[in-house]
Chain A
Amino acid sequence: MKAIGHGGEEIVERVITDKNEALKKIKGLKQVPVRRQIATEAISIAYGFFSPLQGFMKKADVESTCKNMTLADGTVWSIPIVFDMSDKEIAEYGIKAGSTVLLTSDGNPLATFEVEDIFTYDKQEWSQAVYGTTDMKHPGVKRTYEYKDKFLGGKITLVNPPKLNPPFDQYWLTPLQHREKFKEKGWQRIVAHQTRNVPHTGHEWLMKHAWMATHAELSMEETEEGKAVTGTLVNCIIGEKRAGDYIDQAIILTQDALRKYGYFREDVHMTSFTLWDMRYAGPKEAIHHAIIRTNLGLTHHMFGRDHAGVGTYYHPYAAHRIFKQVPQGKLNITPIFVLEWLYCPHCGEVTCMGLCGHGKEQQKFSGTLIRSILMDGVKPTRLIFRPEIFDIVMDCAKKYGFGSPFVTPQYIEKGTPAFRIDPL
């Protein structure tokens, strides 16, 4: 059976796994070293995470993404995926439309790049369209303005698949491998929980809420242990970090621990990750996440409060509202909108804002407060944070975070990345 992804297109892996074939393909090609940002996106393109894209975007697609939230052919698309270069570099490497070059990462071959288009784009217009602001304090706008002045579009073919470093290697699945896993599990409905967080019980309940909404009208027999047809995929975002974020290892290991320690049953929960540098584009990024998860083979996607937001740039439920603008049938994934879960001392439990009537007594979860508690090394009450999760966070701080569960300049400089590119 064909694996159909976003836009109704078949997922195509543009990956050469045969070493001799790869060596033949790259022979004589001009080598162009790329930074981590570009290497990450080349890998994602090649495996089909961004299907139907088969390469970095050409001008018509970038323009249409900014102006219409679609690719040039009308497929819904919300964030430009680009390869940037300066005029000087283009001249130095002698790149022209029609050239094929070899992209290298960590000094080793990564992918071939068939350059079809070289163009400029107004970064101010782009920022306003995608991020709704041109404020340089917005991390997505900052990234856009930091791009070099020219963009190169064209197809990518991975010639040297990445090697995943522990502990990420246990959780790396390509879109086609995700689909295989779901088939093995017998899941018919799968809901995505997008995260870059260590889970507190508020997150846990969001996931439970989304699972119940996804299972919906299906029978209770189909929830019996070992026969579950509905699953939750925690798909962590692993990519560029900002100071104060949780370290990647803590995110993925704690999310997986929710199942390991029985907070989710073995047959209804799994953990994986997507390589993606957060743009914090709020609603536009919500659409992008829906596209990625469609390509992974998911049927539903949970969106909570302030999805992919930053600061006060977006309305807390802007990511919910944007789905109303997408014409029916243009996204093959069902959004599950969830309200905040909070702690109510009157109820004595974590409850949903849409249900609890003790408004004045409610105590909201705040990521910042939880971070503050963990920073002090104080074990939170199990009602808001599972003790096993706390222990793993502290262990990760020692093992991977140079003493901190949060990203520090030392972690950015010396931390173990999720993947490496070895010699071919």
Chain B
Amino acid sequence: MAETYPINIWINEERFEKLKNAGLGGMPKEVLAGMKVLPVPNTDAQKDMVLKLFPVAKFDAATTKSIELLPKEVKDEIFDLVVKRKSLNIMDEFLKLKEKKEV
């Protein structure tokens, strides 16, 4: 399976409630002492685009193998789109929206 370069969205009770309502309650993974994380997958090209659009973000190749340091508001937008589309495959749409704003 190809690498997916996830963006880790951490799930608190409020976010978990929204996910359950969208039928995605089974999607978060438990990683550290019961902490829930929703890994939103990115292809290699999407990962490069995320890093280009948000220069503060970094791909952590050494430990987590995920895209980190994205500002909270950006992750909030990604999470909202996941809930709206009831799917984790939203990065193309998200990046297109962001690219339009950039232009």
> Which A residues are closer than 8 A to B by beta carbons?
243-244, 311-312, 343, 345, 363, 365-369, 371-373, 375-381, 383-384, 404, 406, 408
Contact = CB atoms under 8 A, between A and B. Distances in A.
Residue from the set B35, B70, B75 with the largest chain A CB neighbour count within 10 Å: B35
Interface of B: 8-12, 15, 31-35, 56, 58, 60, 62-64, 66, 68-72, 75
Nearest to A373: B10
Given A366-B63, A377-B72, A408-B56, A372 B10 contact: yes
A372 B64 contact: yes
A375 B70 contact: yes
Please classify the interface of chain B as helix (H, G, I), strand (E, B), loop, or mixed, using the class held by over half of its residues.
Answer: mixed
Given A243-B56, A372-B8, A379-B12, A365 B62 contact: no
14 contacts: A243-B69, A366-B64, A368-B60, A368-B66, A369-B8, A372-B8, A372-B66, A375-B72, A376-B9, A378-B10, A378-B11, A378-B35, A379-B12, A380-B35
Please classify the interface of chain A as helix (H, G, I), strand (E, B), loop, or mixed, using the class held by over half of its residues.
Answer: loop
B69 A244 contact: yes
Nearest to B70: A375
Contacts of B15: 378
A293 B2 CA distance: 48
B58 to A, nearest CB: 7
A404 B34 CA distance: 25
| Shortest Cβ-Cβ A-B pairs, 5 listed | A378-B10, A376-B10, A383-B33, A378-B12, A384-B33
B32 A384 contact: yes
Contact of A373 (B35, B66, B69): B35
A304 to B, nearest CB: 15
A406 B32 CA distance: 21
Given A343-B32, A376-B72, A381-B35, 12 more contacts: A312-B62, A345-B33, A363-B33, A369-B64, A371-B68, A372-B8, A373-B10, A375-B69, A377-B72, A378-B10, A384-B35, A408-B56
